[in-house]
Amino acid sequence: MGFSLDLRYQICRQPINLPVFNSVALELLRLLADQDADIDDVIETINKDQALAIQILKMANSSAYTGRYQSETIKDSVNRLGAKQITNLAMAASQAALHSSSIPVVNNMMHHLWSHSYACAIGCQSLAINMGLRWVADQAYMAGLLHDIGKLYLLKAMERISLSAEIKFELDYETLMDVFSDLHVEQGFRIMYHWDIPRVYSSIVANHHTEHFDHHDTLLAIVRLVNIKSKQFDLDYFPRFIRSLSSGPEISPLHVGEAALVKLESDMRGSCV
């Protein structure tokens, strides 16, 4: 551990409700966990936050999703893309807005964290689709987007501690990296539990770095593989514990072909353009 016990104590006593989720996006995520969710409920929920609704509409009409027709309303977007895809867009739009800080070093880290998380979301979805696992593609996107949520929480916590001046510490890159390495999984799972995020995603947060994992958990294997690949593609700006994929346990249970890996790299790099 490269940071003081005083700093660890201050981090662990920070409010669990620091702004790492948008309330409407969270409501959508929980709503979609219900197999009987009504499409009108999804539309009504989105329209509670007009700023988020506008951003969703903008993303739904981007070149990545437009197709032949543009959507003029949230209802049009949901009908065209489906409630799960719209929920993905809502979470992505709201997460992007939360990755900013008045402290330059924290703001820079947040920017890189967002780039990594979004690239992993696109990569997980791409891999699922190109492996013929379309049934898990929407979940894969969300899992990739949220797997490092603990890092965002820690950045918010460190920002708060620094601005409060309760203790003196050096808020620099190395300190942030040490805090990430030691606490991001633990704190990530803690906030997922607090916010009652569906278990499928909290399990990803808890296990995306474990040495041993359930090889039958396809979604977890996808996130782990994409996360490792992000390092090889220079899309992980916080290099820790980089290991070779030559004998990586993620590839074998997924039966990933070379074509899927080539497409994965292309799509992940494309997300950062």
Domains in the chain, start-ordered, CATH in brackets? 5-270 (1.10.3210.10)
The pLDDT assigned to 1 comes to 53
Of the candidate ranges 37-41, 136-140, 181-185, 242-246, the one whose mean pLDDT is the lowest: 242-246
Which residues lie below 8 Å from residue 195, measured CB to CB, with a gap of 6+? 21, 26
The pLDDT assigned to 272 comes to 75
Q: What is the mean pLDDT of residues 202-220?
A: 90
Residue 11: both structure tokens together: 């981090």
Amino acid identity, position 265: E
Amino acid identity, position 209: H
Of the candidate ranges 182-191, 193-202, 253-262, the one whose mean pLDDT is the lowest: 253-262
Label residue 246 by pLDDT band (50, 70, 90): very low
Calculated CA dihedral for residues 76, 79, 85, 89, nearest 10 degrees? 10
* 36 vs 246: which has the higher pLDDT: 36
Q: What is the mean pLDDT of residues 62-77?
A: 80
| Percent over 70 (pLDDT), the chain | 94
Please give the C-alpha separations between residue 246 and each of 155, 231, 268, in angstroms, as whole numbers: 33, 14, 20
Q: What is the pTM of this model?
A: 0.90
Label residue 66 by pLDDT band (50, 70, 90): low
Amino acid identity, position 117: S
How many CA atoms are closer than 13 Å to the CA of 186, on its beta-carbon side?
Answer: 8
Whole-angstrom Cα Rg for the chain:
19
The pLDDT assigned to 253 comes to 72
Please give the C-alpha separations between residue 222 and each of 13, 89, 127, 139, 144, in angstroms, as whole numbers: 33, 20, 7, 11, 9
Residue 213: both structure tokens together: 């994992």
For the chain, the farthest-separated pair of C-alpha atoms sits apart, in whole angstroms, at 57
The pLDDT assigned to 14 comes to 93
**CA-based nearest residue to 147, from 137, 139, 155, 159:** 139
Cβ atoms < 10 Å from Cβ of 209: 15
Which residues lie below 8 Å from residue 262, measured CB to CB, with a gap of 6+? none
Q: If you average pLDDT over each of 188-202, 208-222, 250-264, which comes out highest?
A: 188-202
Provide the strand spans (E) within the chain. none
